[in-house]
Structure 1
């Protein structure tokens, strides 16, 4: 049985992989993040910011179980090709979005920085060296600030980008305008579910309209070969 629907990924530019780890593993990771930020799920009076950033930079404990999941690695193989990606040991940055607060001004449509320049800085180009990984660490329903995804937008964004690595402020308006007519899908699911996004899939944060804080990591998976539409991987074939 295929870990993802290959044809659907090629058409939509993303795939959901359910339960890369048991729910209790994601729950344990979330408990550690509550400790890290010094807040409590039982004391909403302390939730005063719409977004609080946490991180996992070590891959210890439940974080490592998630990142080393055979099911997750099989999903990488399916889209980047066996051996086409570099292992990622930690979840990286984790935005925690809180309900009942004015939303943060960070909900613009974009694709992530994907190309390292010779000086070590990063920009956005049509030679992506990364794909995007979203890991749900809490229940995420339609009202719980799910990431919004423009289905099929990977082809639109690729068409308007060139080989020059643009700044985020330059690339964002380009890909937003190019993908404006695409339908929007929400990245909902259960703790332990994962979304793999094609590097050119246009996406955005959403306002939190629910009642429970949303925990989700977002980070790049480095690729061994740039995604240019010329290779044999699913990432390349999805652009043709």
Structure 2
């Protein structure tokens, strides 16, 4: 398989914590996904007066158009370049959907956070899931756009370079790391980073370092936003020690924070 990302894009990923891939999957796939999701929503696709909630959560989705959207040749090539060949597990679902609607009401899930990657003492309690310096279980965070997302359409805010700060925080905590809520409570202490908004047309995918800080936004536009945030899972374990020679871009970024 030919390499999709060029050296500059890979370096951008290491330093900034994300890379945007346009046309990662086709409009036919995004349209098929939207048809399924609208059918599952308790409101009328063509009647905005029925869109009364700022966020409605749907999931988990593992049907053909969903799985196909995150398993294209472009994405597989990028996964190999960022994590290493045979070091990741192809996605078998895209998880849940927080569908965001235009609303004057403030959603209740817009705090800065880092997605956790392995269960804690209470596996059914997501807030107790954990993240450690080796990013146990998770290779990447993906922001997968199934609708066109402009600056007004609740684009996810991603904080450029914040993954390096988070690596530094986690480096002091060993294999146990922090729970989702413990880490969220420490993010305000980190250096201020430039916020970048994950906009793009349907079919755009942002591949993000697993430690990248991000947050949801209120929807000020006209059209509901459909985005999934599936993890790309690790097949084994990241190698971040000095004794190892050739590090992947994901590993190199972590080492920037702990060196």
- Scaled by the length of structure 2, the TM-score of the pair is 0.85
1:98 to 84, 94, 101: 101
Structure 1 segment 51-90 matched on structure 2, within 5 A? 51-60=55-64, 62-90=65-93
Q: Match for residue 250 of structure 2?
A: 235
**2: distance between equivalents of 1:99 and 1:152?**
30
User: For 1:207-238, what per-residue CA distance to the aligned partner results, in whole angstroms no more than 9, with x for missing partners?
Assistant: 11111100000121111233463361110012
- The 8 Å contact of residues 17 and 163 in structure 2, kept in 1 or not, is answered as yes
Gaps of 5+ in 2: none
SS in 2 for 1:38: coil
Gapped runs of 5+ residues in structure 1?
Answer: none
1:147 corresponds in structure 2 to 156
**Which shifted more, 157-166 or 186-195?**
157-166
Residue pair 2:67, 2:93 contacting (<8 A) in 1 also: yes
Q: Please state if 1:166 is matched with 2:166.
A: no
> In the aligned structure 2, how far is the partner of 1:211 from the partner of 1:19?
23
The answer as to 2:200 corresponding to 1:189 is yes
Out of 50-59 and 216-225, give the one that drifted further: 50-59
Per the TM alignment, residue 92 of structure 1 is displaced from its structure 2 partner at its CA by 1.0
**Alignment partner of 1:32 is 2:36:** yes
Give the C-alpha shift of residue 203 in structure 1.
0.6
CA contact (8 A) 2:161 2:212 kept: yes
> Relative to structure 2, which stretch is displaced further, 1-10 or 182-191?
1-10
CA distance in 2, matches of 1:173, 1:228: 27
Corresponding pairs, count: 238
Q: Which has the higher strand share?
A: 1
* Bigger mean CA deviation after superposition, 209-218 or 34-43: 34-43
Secondary structure class of the residue paired with 2:59: strand
Q: What is the CA deviation profile of residues 159-196 of structure 1, one whole-angstrom value per residue up to 9, with x for unaligned ones?
A: 012222322221102134214x1100000001111011
SS at match of 2:37: helix
Q: CA deviation at 1:15?
A: 0.8
Aligned residue in 2 for 1:50: 54
8 Å contact 2:162–2:212 — kept in the other structure? Answer: yes
Distance 2:122 2:57 in 1: 27
